[in-house]
Structure 1
């Protein structure tokens, strides 16, 4: 099929994938809510079903876009639309994490000190929670889930930080190799990036196991536990999606897709991965160290 002219704009057919993705996200969220608020052992499978639907949607939608791209249905106008869409998508992700970081900062800067008596002027804390000391990290007044210990930032978190920083380097080298039309080097460095992402996820799973089984640090461990697992958990989900996308890009490069002068699919995934790395640096500093 010939490439579209500059004054033509490709309008895709009616796609089923947005509604499939919506069903998957809804199923995942409902399953997660029930899992966190119910002792029904079958509840987690609802969340797992949602994950499966989302993966099905991703592979199906990716497949359609890849076919359209390889059939030269996209011109410079479509490329510009893709770039603008990706910029706005990453901006929405920035605001998504800003909400969780904002909750963390508000709790540490205002709520916890206020409960400890700082700046109230009326000793309200003595009425609400007498004897409570507003020191971070906190399990909340009354030790909601018993004593817990925090994760050592200079053990697994530091290793994961080095892994993600290294992965930013490897995917950048892969990008330069693709622009130089060195497909073999591109494949090698992309595979290295996928491996680094997978190792990161493995160590994060190890960290969660240690937190639950040895440190008694859980999602129910007050404001610290909830913000810790919400921030690191959602970031881990983003790393999982990013690793899957890089793996797909690797397969595409192996199959001969992308050209040095036209490879926005590769660039979009690289942008996303760099964003994920930057978010982790914020997590490492404000969640683990400070």
Structure 2
């Protein structure tokens, strides 16, 4: 007799959809993010115990993410809940999430061009403003562009390797992607340290650090996303037909690549001398 426990649950349903079971992780994640946000506000305003609440909120968020991702991995890999129709829904969800991210960065670019295309008298009627020494776009920013575009190529190589059933090539491709992403983040941090201006240096400083900083935050999130997929590849979680998690991480990473191209062209290149 076939052991029913080992069979995918959807085989005993009259529909191919996934009815998600009750989970504590959404509520825990919401409370953890709220605690982290409140702690950050308290810390930045110098209120006592703000740093403690910020640390606890961050650790709680990390804890909730790990356990939530663990359950989703089990549902898709071992329980058979991610049918073809469910995978289409997940892909659409990731796509719509990226659309919201596009509009988020659109607002950042809108703010940047609003200030840079018509500099006010207070800025010296020029961009960059008087007294601000912009970063040379042909040094670290150019190197970071090469690194990020190379990471897009290596993660695509890993994707095709998974489709072709070449596990070794997939592991190499994803490992190279993580390495390139880590180098990009390290160079971005070095660039911040060596910059002649800060986020407090008027609209130029706030626009620069806000745009590149949020992109850097997305790079870190994307790197963690790909790192999780890297360990899933090592543990044989993906097949040529079933690797929705990997595809989602790659789609997000390409979005990060494209945003950086716009940032480099606008903030670094044009923003350094005002010439397109």
Which residue of structure 1 aligns with residue 144 of structure 2?
160
SS of 1:74 mapped into structure 2: coil
Between the aligned partners of 2:129 and 2:50, the Cα distance in structure 1 is 30
Q: What's the offset of the Cα at 1:17?
A: 2.2
Conservation of the 8 A alpha-carbon contact between 2:16 and 2:86? no
- Consecutive unaligned residues of structure 2, counting only runs of 5 or more, are 1-5, 271-276
Give the 3 Å change call, closer, same or farther, for CA 253–11 of structure 1 in structure 2: same
- TM value normalised by structure 2: 0.88
**Could you tell me which residue of structure 2 aligns to residue 124 of structure 1?**
none
Structure 1: stretches of 5+ with no match in the other structure: 117-128, 140-146
1:79 aligns with 2:92: no
CA distance in 2, matches of 1:178, 1:170: 12
Aligned to 1:126: none
Aligned partner of 1:17 in structure 2 is 25
Pairs within 5 Å for 1:267-282: 267-282=247-262
Which position in structure 2 is the counterpart of 1:119?
none
1:136 alignment partner in structure 2? 127
- Provide the C-alpha distance between the structure 2 equivalents of 1:86 and 1:97, rounded to a whole number of angstroms: 17
Distance 1:190 1:244 in 2: 12
How far residue 60 of structure 1 moved from its aligned partner, in angstroms, is 1.6
- Cα gap change, 1:232/1:42 in structure 2, threshold over 3 Å: closer, same or farther? farther
Cα deviation digits, residues 166-215 of structure 1 (max 9, x gap): 0000000000000000001100110110111111111111111112xxx1
Q: Where does 1:1-290 land on structure 2 (aligned, <5 Å)?
A: 1-3=6-8, 4-5=10-11, 7-36=15-44, 38-39=45-46, 43-70=50-77, 71-110=79-118, 112=119, 115-116=120-121, 133-138=124-129, 147-211=131-195, 215=196, 217-290=197-270
| Further displaced range: 189-198 or 19-28 | 19-28
Shift, 1:40, TM fit: 5.6
Q: CA 1:72–1:191 in 2, change beyond 3 Å: closer, same or farther?
A: same
CA contact (8 A) 2:222 2:253 kept: yes
Q: CA RMSD in A?
A: 2.0
For the residue of structure 2 that corresponds to 1:60, the secondary structure is: helix
What secondary structure does 1:267 align onto?
A: helix
Question: What is the Cα deviation at residue 106 of structure 1?
Answer: 1.2
Displacement after TM superposition at 1:41 (Å): 8.5
User: Mean alpha-carbon deviation: is it higher for 44-53 or for 76-85?
Assistant: 44-53
How many residue pairs get aligned? The number is 261
Structure-1 separation of matches of 2:237 and 2:176 = 19
Contact 2:42–2:48 (Cα < 8 Å) also in 1: no
Secondary structure of residue in 1 paired with 2:117? helix
With structure 1 as the length reference, what TM-score do the two structures score? 0.84
Q: Any conservation in 1 of the 2:112–2:207 contact (CA below 8 Å)?
A: yes
